[in-house]
Amino acid sequence: MARYTFFSFHYSPDIWRAQNVRNSWVALPGDEIDRGFFDASVFEAKRRVSPDILKNFLRDALDGTSVTCVLAGSETYRRRWVRYEIARSVVRGNGILTVHIQGLKNSKGLTSVKGPNPLDCLGVYSANGTIFLAEWEGTKWVKYADYASPIPKSDLWFRAPTTNTVTQLSEHCLAYDFTAQRGRENIGGWIETAAGQAGR
């Protein structure tokens, strides 16, 4: 069965590293199909039109995927549209994992500094029995504005929160280091594990 995976990353500094990860994955035996590698000019064109157009574009790009792989560089956790891709992945029930890629070289042969896990910066909470997404804004948790609708408990593959204390997504999703943990050989297994966690 084909495994459709969406790769979420900060395009400008990390496209070279992200392509390295993607190429090592699709070269593995199996029937892997990637999403999220649309040209940057397409992304920028959608964003210039309106945020709503870009949201629709990203939602459509996630359609049909079963796993979202967040490729984390130094500043990925800050990126609005990476957060949106993660949020939509939660809503659609995708398995989610983080792969830290700072140890890979960019086009100039340089590695980077490890950044925070983007899944530390998004979470879920309960308000009177209704589940919502939250995001970390520097010093506090706030309701996630780019997807403010309630999430049915049945749409979550992990245990739903029961209080208004935010549970970080990283508490439910695994994280790996591509360089330190031999990602070239192991990323296929990491993705399958994320799919299995979500029952996908």
Overall domain count for the chain: 1
Domain span holding position 54: 3-116+173-197
CATH at residue 96: 3.40.50.450
Quickly list DSSP for 57-120.
HHHHHHTT-SEEEEEE-SSGGG-HHHHHHHHHHHHHT-EEEEEE-TTS--TTS---PPPPPGGG
Q: What is the pLDDT of residues 112-165, one digit of tens each?
A: 999 999 999 999 999 999 999 999 998 999 999 999 999 999 999 999 999 999
Q: Is residue 164 part of a domain?
A: no
* pLDDT tens-digit readout, 69-80: 999 999 999 999
Q: What's the whole-model pTM score?
A: 0.91
Higher pLDDT, 96 or 27: 96
List the strands of the sheet with 32-35, edge to edge: 32-35, 3-8, 67-72, 95-100, 175-177
Q: Is 92 contained in some domain?
A: yes
Whether residue 13 is contained in a domain is answered as yes
Structure token pair of residue 105 = 């070289």
Q: Residues 2-43: pLDDT tens digits? A: 578 889 999 888 888 988 888 887 765 665 555 555 544 455
Do the domain assignments include residue 136?
A: no
149 is a domain residue:
no
Q: Which amino acid is at 152?
A: P
- Please, which contacts does 177-186 make with residues 24 or more away whose CB atoms are closer than 8 Å? 177/99, 177/100, 177/103, 177/114, 178/21, 178/99, 178/100, 178/101, 178/103, 178/104, 179/101, 179/103, 179/104, 180/103, 183/21, 183/24, 183/99, 184/24
